[in-house]
Amino acid sequence: MVSQTRLNDAFGELIYAVAIADGMIQEEEVDTLQKFLLDHPSGKEIQWSFNYERKKGNALMDTYNKALETLKENGPHPDYAYLVEVLEAVANASDGFQRKEGQLISNFQKSLRAHFIKYLDENGLLT
């Protein structure tokens, strides 16, 4: 299990990746993110991570892959469902759900699910 700080960073990184997937981050996406994170216990930390990636202009796939590996290393977590909800809301915030954003979210869900199923299978935990 990774630290809560690394987990928060990964959330911010994935949100950044979805927001930048269509080529640029729109203010509607930032506003939506801020509204979602307002009441989340780690909202400020996740927002910080998103802002850091945005300021640095890090490459989409590098950021995505780094975040995905952190979540795989962490293992299952109840906040992953919340993360997908935020990703979808950010993707819908400006000009509707773009194909690239949708593909990134879908790939994220499939990759994480496949990783966990493989782990369970390799450890004899699937029946």
Confidence (pTM): 0.91
Across 36-62, average pLDDT: 96
What fold, for 4-122?
TerB-like (1.10.3680)
Per-residue DSSP letters for 39-70?
Answer: TSTTHHHHHHHHHHHHHHT--HHHHHHHHHHH
pLDDT in tens, 34-45: 999 999 999 999
